[in-house]
Amino acid sequence: MSRIGIIGGGPGGLSLARLLTERKIADVVVLERDAQVGGKSLTVTVDGLGHEVGTCYLTTGYRTVQGWMREAGMSNYPLKHHVIHTELGETQDFKAYVLGKGGPMKAGLQMARYVADWLVFHEWDIHGCRDDTKGTRGGLMKDEMAQPFGEWLKERELDVIARFALRTMSIMGYGGLDEVPALYGLRWNVPSIIWSAVTLQVSEMAPGWQHLWVHLASKLDVRTDQHIREVTRADGKYQVRTKDGLLEFDHLVLTTRLHEARGWFPFTEEEVAAYSIGNGGMEWREYVTTLVDAEGWFQEEDTHSFEAAADGTAALSQSRLLVARRTGDKTRAAAARSRTRRDVYVCYQVGNPDLKAKELQDILERDLHEQGARNISVLQQFRWTYSPQFTPAAIRAGAAHAMEKQQGTNNLWISGATTSHESIDNITDFNERLVERMVMKLAGRAPSDEDALAEVAARFRWRISDK
């Protein structure tokens, strides 16, 4: 059997390893730098209660993940009550804010128009983002995808969807709607996310995302404490130096940040160009989560969001509080215990490498005081390198297609947030398609030409039943 090495035991690496292992086509080994798996899925425990400081939500569209949750005996806990503090100084139920004055009828019509254009986008995306595909307005799809998502929505008069996207894009740290490319807006805002929000089926996991990855890893060959710093290539194979010695693989998958991997992985010039490594074509953001203990703040709602802090790139650059979530293990026993304890919140800000941890905390504490919270103590702060995105210029120049076309060349594969969008739904969907292409390659077929991508697209296109 072929040997496949996967570098990175985060959601990208573990979901791919699981899907590959199910196919029984190769021996798969995952090499993880840290002592624990999960990457940006991190559940921390304070006073016996678990808090999601990384990955948090899932929706009805997370089908593969839900199957793994059932297998691990896990449950989910719907979050039903969200409010938003508007720029006009009102506090509104989030659903009413999204619907606006037009109400459900207008929203339904907009949703239908959005889904019609989204389906055209989706076909382009799962066929490998070809450069010559027409968009929905007569030009090229890649040029439409380089547009700011807010502008893309405005041209289509989709103000209801834009209000929804303020929450799913800007407040989630993916960028201002005046800046974030439509490519990422459309990858993330699949119809099932909107459906889940409308039907109040966005949920958290009990006991937490990290538990899921630990469960998956327990059934796979995963080696932790393996910080990979050296890979060589010889005779079409990969030699990976680990602290326990040299491992040899026929195929290698990188799920880590590619600009960092350039320090230890011998990319060819062709790979550097195709994967936009170190040429400014792909940028990462920073997202900050702070676990705070506070008195006198909200008790009944699950989350409070802040419109003014998220309204555009200039607002986001202030690193103000975007959203806070009341937290704790979502098991019945923990809920009972949490009533006897102080209230803990996870607070989200967009980060900025120029701001020190203390400066970010000062901004946060000012915002919390303004909201009426008292006796605030910061328990822990986490700064995440987050949301890799091609720049608009790179998208126009065909970077998304170049990345897809390169997959599998020299038996090298790229997965994780870099190749889809920084969300586990997008990453697992991408990996399901990638596995088919890896199976093709192992059977001697080209995995990234038009025919291969069309065959995979036919099996994995989004269907209404996926809602």
**Residues of this chain that bind ligand FAD (CB under 6 A):** 7-13, 31-34, 39-41, 54-57, 226-228, 255-256, 287, 289, 384, 386, 416-417, 422-425, 427
Token pair of 115 as six digits: 């889904």
Q: How far is the CB of 62 from ligand FAD (least distance, A)?
A: 7
Tally the C-alpha atoms within 13 A of residue 67's C-alpha that lie toward its C-beta: 8
Q: Dihedral of CA 98/192/457/205: which sign?
A: positive
Q: How far is the CB of 451 from ligand FAD (least distance, A)?
A: 28
The single residue listed with the structure tokens 């959005």 is 114
Which CB, 141 or 287, lies closer to ligand FAD?
287
Which CB, 99 or 183, lies closer to ligand FAD?
183
DSSP, res 59: -
DSSP, res 156: T
**d(Cα 83, Cα 306) in Å, to the nearest integer?**
9
Nearest-CB residue for ligand FAD: 10
By CB atoms closer than 10 A (0-12, 13-18, 19+), residue 458 is exposed
Intra-chain end-to-end CA distance of the chain, in Å: 37
Q: How far is the CB of 455 from ligand FAD (least distance, A)?
A: 25
Which CB, 346 or 368, lies closer to ligand FAD?
346
Which CB, 190 or 373, lies closer to ligand FAD?
190
Which CB, 57 or 149, lies closer to ligand FAD?
57
Angle formed at CA 430 by CA 36 and CA 417, multiple of 5 degrees = 50
CB 20 within 8 A of CB 26: yes
Which CB, 14 or 111, lies closer to ligand FAD?
14
CB 418 within 8 A of CB 282: yes
CB under 8 A, 24+ apart: contacts of 450-455: 450/127, 450/128, 450/130, 453/126, 453/127, 453/128, 453/404, 454/127
DSSP states of 337-393:
HHTTS-EEEEEEEE--TTS-HHHHHHHHHHHHHHTT-EEEEEEEEEEEEEEEEE-HH
Which CB, 9 or 447, lies closer to ligand FAD?
9
Q: Which residues of 13-52 are buried (b: 16+ CB within 10 A; e: fewer)?
A: bbbbbbbbbeeebbebbbbbbeeebbbbbbbbeeeebbbb
Q: How far is the CB of 347 from ligand FAD (least distance, A)?
A: 11
Q: How far is the CB of 233 from ligand FAD (least distance, A)?
A: 17
Q: How far is the CB of 413 from ligand FAD (least distance, A)?
A: 13
Q: How far is the CB of 72 from ligand FAD (least distance, A)?
A: 17
**d(Cα 10, Cα 41) in Å, to the nearest integer?**
7
Which CB, 89 or 263, lies closer to ligand FAD?
263
**d(Cα 146, Cα 396) in Å, to the nearest integer?**
6
Tally the C-alpha atoms within 13 A of residue 318's C-alpha that lie toward its C-beta: 16
Q: How far is the CB of 57 from ligand FAD (least distance, A)?
A: 4
Q: How far is the CB of 252 from ligand FAD (least distance, A)?
A: 12
DSSP, res 88: T
Which CB, 33 or 461, lies closer to ligand FAD?
33
Q: How far is the CB of 196 from ligand FAD (least distance, A)?
A: 12
Which CB, 91 or 199, lies closer to ligand FAD?
199
